[in-house]
Chains A and B, each alone.
Chain A
């Protein structure tokens, strides 16, 4: 900024200082010249320095300041002066003490000091009587060197003290709390060459407006005046507003993608009978996934109701012998009791099964983004809750390539255009596959979940017809943790308000 612009940024206090500044000037002197508070001066000088208007020379100096007693004696006079005045009438130490109200310590000091100056003598009568000497008479009319010293302007720097005054200072320093020497920072403020130009560009205070107020607007008094120029590049304190949780931002984003692709949203319960979670999905009742260590079972109500008899009968049939699907089935005795057990859904595929059971016409495309559960001990790499993005496409003409197409477009929109498919196994799909996406920055593949085409043993009991149903249930917690560089999965649910506030928005 040029000198004129800088001049326009000056605050009232900066102006005052600049106006008063003779080159160079101590902070103390500025204070006396402007009448500003210490903090005000310090802040304004700092601003001026940042604007290169002034240069501050800072030195550590030994200085002499008045102590508590020093301040007091400056007002009331040194004890020896009061003593000296009192002995104009000779008297005992007791009498002098009574008339001067000096403490015994002060009396002792005064005695010593005045004797040294040969100003008093003590004669022994009944008691010791103190009286003035002619030297003392003379001293009544003139200042002690100590008194002259105390009259100086404090704080004093050592350089301001003459050789003659040094012994006086030393003697005062020996006395309690009269003068104290200490090391302080002494700041000398210089006007820079640029500062001189700024000073010459400075307008009169009444021509610069600080704050725009309703009065100024209404009266039009701003006309012909200028507003003080702000340093808009200076940093300001952070503010915090309300914000969606970052996981939910990602969930919203994923939902948005499926909506863009023309999918309808499915919703449904988290607590589900094993029938929907497993049996309707052709997962045999002795499949390891149904064992206690993998799935959360409810204590009470431990069992739910099975849906309509016809559906239950055809699910039983495909398990036992394949029903009418042309399949061999799992060849065991299917138990309704096992199917009634309530679980926390282990996948959102439950919703797909329930949707198919109600579906009357196709083509149809459905999605859901929801929580799923697995009975896992909580640690940095394991959570018992996770988000799954579920989808089905029901149409007589869809095939494996279309399954790959939907997954590819979803993950491309999630920010992962590079995707690969590997064979996998799930009891309820064939052409089962595992989806990996390539993380372009971390240069690694992330495993995101499974997909396939629902087996006829799944579709026919639910839909009543052997229509191809593309299906996927892909996790995307990995995408979220990668996006936010989270290494401990529990941080997804930690809700540290500071971190939530600081986490950037979900942008892809």
Chain B
């Protein structure tokens, strides 16, 4: 979630009221944002991704001021016509839209410029998904000569001095040399031509969504009037983004001027700040919330969320991006009502409880093994290839994770015994004997399940002690089988983790149910163990299925 920092004094000033910090803190939580820190200087807050309109100080204060009842209802923004236009001349298929407008009469200072840059960046990172869904630009108006066109050019013909660079670069050079070019170049690098804004004198304003020109695309404290643009693949995202930017600047004291954006097949007047509407029945609201709200109460609550309610319709400001369904309106009503004001109720829904047969079986088995004096372990499902193979002196197939950030945990386990060898390895300083078991899920490739991965519950059991022998582990296996009502013969087998002649397996319907034996000294050494260990691994899923079938 995007984290933003606001000046406490600025937010207080925008609220028009000095609110005590603890009250402010409580209200910020309850409006739906995660407050990290608040003090006299700063408010550090995580804005939920569905509320990009709260990413600026102005937008945040606007929402809070309505929520706290200081100025409820929809804030109106007057839009004047600028008479200017932008022609969308030629576009990339993957980057077809542009919207532009103008804001005049700003008086900027360091703090306001910081806030503008913050909201522009956070919108690009979150709402526009790291510019993949759109890029935004702000330019000092006095450097630009209208009309403007949005078009594409071969990269080596695009030549301008990008922001903060000391020389003129072409399109390709920007992608390979400029830090911003390197970071976002992947979005357009495969295209034959790159998008550009060009003014009537032929100056390149910017190469969206990568970077503005240093000469005509940098705002300073002396900037009074600005030109805004947003380009990208999704028109809806762009109009909301430019609405958020324009209203933020308007809240800073600017006057919004619309521009005409001319496409081959249509003309858009930007920004389009008229409110949206969504039909929401009071009955639906009350049914979902368990309330008995009257129409006027719903209206009051929606006004607290910076909206309105007229003729059974919610009126939604043009900078709200998150309203997809009437259900979203219901949530806003609940937030305005205050989550703390709902009384928790247990409904009279009669249903019959039922444990999962497997979970119940695992639990029974675990509690039963306790009786043998075994301590239960709890290990990670993720491990590494060495643990499953070479450290066990064997080969085994396993499923790798493509992108694990932990190099010691980049494989999901295919068998369980290595995890318990790991447990013994971590416990060499503790008293002997050590008897440990775990029941857990193991993963193998299998085209049967939808994912192509078979998940099997397995039991592994290790017994480390100076006197342990094969007899001990065979007795354990026998005890388990007898108590499950099964008589499964144990046959000598060869398994590279066990001492030859001291390894055995048990099969059920020809399939391997269990293996057991004395662990080879080479394996003990690879786990830094100097105590004899006997071990058992048993397929819990298999025996469970077998028993279920028998019961049926």
Residues of A whose CB lies within 8 Å of any CB of B are 240-245, 247-248, 252, 255, 258-267, 269-273, 286, 288, 292-293, 296-307, 322, 325-332, 342, 344, 363-365, 368, 371, 373, 375-378, 384-385, 393, 395, 397-402, 404-409, 420-425, 430-433, 453, 455-457, 468, 492-498, 500-501
Kindly list chain A residues whose C-beta atoms are within 8 Å of the C-beta of B363. 252
Structural contact, B50 and A242, CB atoms closer than 8 A: no
Residue B369 lies at the interface, judged by CB distance under 8 Å to chain A: yes
Top 9 A-B residue pairs of the complex, sorted by shortest distance between their CB atoms: A423-B32, A301-B452, A425-B48, A399-B290, A401-B290, A404-B344, A304-B451, A242-B370, A265-B356
* Contact B30–A495 (Cβ < 8 Å): no
Which B residues are in CB contact (< 8 Å) with A255? Answer: 355, 359
Tell me whether B351 and A363 are in contact (CB under 8 A): yes
Task: Determine if B409 and A384 form an interchain contact, defined as CB atoms under 8 angstroms apart.
Answer: yes
A271-B451, A400-B289, A498-B431 known; A265+B402 contact, CB < 8 A: no
Per the bound structure, the CA–CA distance linking A303 and B449 in Å amounts to 12
Asked if B190 is at the interface of the complex by the 8 Å CB criterion, the answer is no
Q: How far is the CB of B234 from chain A (nearest CB, A)?
A: 7
Given contacts A384-B409, A405-B344, list 10 more A-B pairs with CB under 8 A: A252-B363, A273-B451, A292-B402, A373-B382, A393-B347, A399-B287, A407-B344, A422-B32, A422-B339, A431-B288
Closest A residue to B132 using CB positions: A286
Q: Does the CB pair B325–A423 fall under 8 Å?
A: no
Closest residue of chain B to A407 (Cβ to Cβ) is B344
A283 to chain B, nearest CB (A): 11
Is B401 in contact with A243, judged by CB distance below 8 angstroms? no
Chain B residues positioned under 8 Å from A300 (CB to CB): 399-400, 445
Contact (Cβ within 8 A) B326 A326:
yes
Contact A400 B455 (CB under 8 A): no
Assess the B349–A248 pair: CB atoms within 8 A: no
Contacting residues of chain B (133-149) with chain A, CB-CB under 8 angstroms: 133
Least distance between B305 CB and chain A CB atoms (Å): 11
A397 and B334 alpha carbons, distance in the complex (Å): 18
Residues B347 and A402 in contact, CB atoms below 8 Å apart: yes
How far, in whole Å, are A25 and B300 apart by their CA atoms in the complex? 97
Interface membership of B342, Cβ < 8 A: yes
B356 A365 Cβ-Cβ under 8 A: no
User: Measured between C-beta atoms, what is the minimum distance from A419 to chain B in Å?
Assistant: 8
20 A-B pairs within 8 Å (CB atoms) are namely: A240-B431, A242-B376, A243-B375, A247-B378, A263-B351, A270-B381, A288-B49, A292-B402, A298-B402, A299-B399, A300-B445, A331-B236, A344-B401, A365-B351, A384-B409, A385-B382, A408-B344, A430-B325, A430-B330, A493-B378
With A265-B354, A378-B406, A385-B380 already in contact, the answer to whether A430 and B453 are too (CB < 8 A) is no
Give the docked Cα–Cα distance between A492 and B363 (Å): 19
Per-residue contact bits, chain B 349-369, to A (CB 8 Å; 1 contact, 0 not): 111111110110001001101
Interface string of B436-457 (1 = CB under 8 A from A): 1000010101000111110100
Give Cα distance in the complex from A18 to B221, angstroms: 102
A2 CB, nearest partner CB in chain B, Å: 41
Given contacts A243-B376, A304-B452, A405-B344, contact A299 B353 (CB under 8 A): no
Q: Which of B163-171, B422-430, B532-540 lies at the interface with chain A?
A: B422-430
- Chain A residue numbers with a CB within 8 Å of B346 are 402, 405-406, 409
Partner of B290, one of A265, A344, A400: A400
In the complex, what's the smallest C-beta–C-beta distance from A372 to chain B, in angstroms? 11
| Cβ–Cβ < 8 Å partners of A264 in chain B | 351-354
B29-70 interface (Cβ within 8 A of A): 29-32, 48-51
B91 at interface (Cβ–Cβ under 8 A)?
no
Q: Are B404's CB and A375's CB within 8 A?
A: yes
Docked CA distance A385–B423 (Å) = 17
Assembly CA distance A113 to B369 (angstroms): 80
B146: min CB distance to chain A, Å: 31
- B377 beta carbon closer than 8 Å to chain A: yes
Q: Contacts of A262 on B, CB cut-off 8 Å?
A: 349-353
Residues on A with C-beta less than 8 A from B335 are: 423
Assess the B426–A261 pair: CB atoms within 8 A.
no
Smallest beta-carbon distance B194→chain A, Å:
22
Q: Within 8 Å CB of B373, what residues of A?
A: 241-242
Contact of A378 among B347, B354, B372, B409 (CB under 8 A): B409
The one of A269, A307, A424, A494 that contacts B426, using a Cβ cutoff of 8 Å: A494
CB-based nearest B residue for A249:
B376
Evaluate whether A495 and B427 lie within 8 angstroms (CB atoms) in the complex, with A269-B451, A300-B445 already known: yes
Report the minimal beta-carbon distance from B235 to chain A, rounded to whole angstroms. Answer: 9
**Chain B 279-311 interface mask (CB, 8 Å, partner A; 1/0):** 000000001111000000000000000000000
Chain B min CB distance to A470 (Å): 9
**Chain A residue nearest to B455 in the complex (CB):** A269
A318: min CB distance to chain B, Å: 10
B403 proximal to A (CB < 8 A):
yes
CB neighbors of A among B333-347 (8 A): 334-335, 339-340, 342-347
Given A244-B370, A248-B378, A378-B409, CB of A400 within 8 Å of CB of B334: yes
Chain B 491-516 per-residue mask, 1 if CB under 8 angstroms from chain A, else 0:
00000000000000000000000000
Residue of B29, B326, B358, B366 near A267 (CB, 8 A) is B358
| Alpha-carbon distance A377/B30, docked complex (angstroms) | 32
Residues from chain A with a CB closer than 8 A to the CB of B267 are: none
- Inter-subunit contact A495/B377 (CB<8 Å): yes
Inter-subunit contact B347/A395 (CB<8 Å): yes
* Contact yes or no, B356 A267, CB < 8 A: yes
* Contact call B378/A492, Cβ cutoff below 8 A: yes
CB-CB under 8 A from A453, the residues of chain B are: 288, 327
Q: Please determine whether A286 and B451 come into contact, CB atoms closer than 8 angstroms.
A: no
Instruction: Note all chain B residues with C-beta closer than 8 A to A455.
Output: 325, 327
Is B129 in contact with chain A by the CB < 8 A criterion? yes
Chain B residues lying within 8 Å of A326, measured Cβ to Cβ, are 325-326
Task: Find out whether the CB atom of B30 lies under 8 angstroms from the CB atom of A422.
Answer: yes
Measured between alpha carbons, how far is A306 from B451 in the docked complex, in Å? 9
Find the B residue at minimum CB distance from A434.
B34
Q: A248 to chain B: which residues have CB within 8 Å?
A: 366, 376, 378
One digit per residue, 1 when the CB lies within 8 angstroms of any chain A CB and 0 when it does not, for chain B 393-415 equals: 00000011111111001001000
Select which of B29, B326, B401, B405 is within 8 A of A299 by beta carbon.
Answer: B401
CB distance from B128 to the nearest CB of A (A): 10
B71 within 8 A of A: no
A residues in contact with B435, CB < 8 Å:
242
Contact status B347-A398, CB under 8 Å:
yes
Instruction: Determine if B401 and A432 form an interchain contact, defined as CB atoms under 8 angstroms apart.
Output: no
B51 nearest CB neighbor, chain A only? A425
For residue B388, give the distance in angstroms from its CB to the closest CB of chain A: 15
Residues of B with C-beta under 8 A to A322:
324-325
Please name the residue on chain A nearest to B125 by beta carbon: A288
Complex Cα gap A272–B449 (Å): 10
Q: Which chain B residues lie closer than 8 Å to A433 at the CB level?
A: 339
CB distance from A213 to the nearest CB of B (A): 28
Are A297 and B403 in contact, with the CB atoms below 8 A? Answer: yes
Contact of A265 among B355, B399, B426, B430 (CB under 8 A): B355
Find the residue from B375, B434, B443, B445 having the highest chain A CB count within 10 A.
Answer: B375
**Residues in B whose Cβ lies below 8 Å from that of A468:** 288
B328 CB-CB contact with A under 8 Å: yes
Given contacts A420-B340, A456-B325, contact A304 B450 (CB under 8 A): yes
Q: Is the CB of B453 within 8 A of A331?
A: no
In the complex, how many angstroms separate the beta carbon of A484 from the nearest chain B beta carbon?
A: 13
Residues of chain A with a CB closer than 8 A to B345's CB: 401-402, 404-405
Name the residue on A nearest B420 (C-beta). Answer: A495
> A401 touches which one: B236, B289, B443 (CB < 8 A)?
B289
Q: Kindly list chain A residues whose C-beta atoms are within 8 Å of the C-beta of B406.
A: 377-378, 384
**Assembled-state Cα–Cα distance A380/B371 (Å):** 34
Q: Which of B29, B377, B453 has the most chain A CB atoms closer than 10 A to its own CB? A: B453
- Given A399-B287, A422-B30, A431-B288, A498 contacting B430 (CB threshold 8 A): yes
Say yes or no: A425 contacts B344, CB within 8 Å.
no
B327 and A456 contacting across the interface, CB-CB below 8 Å = yes
B379 sits at the interface (CB 8 A): yes
A242 in contact with B375 (CB, 8 Å): yes
Could you say which residues of chain B place their CB within 8 Å of the CB of A431?
A: 288-289, 330-331, 334
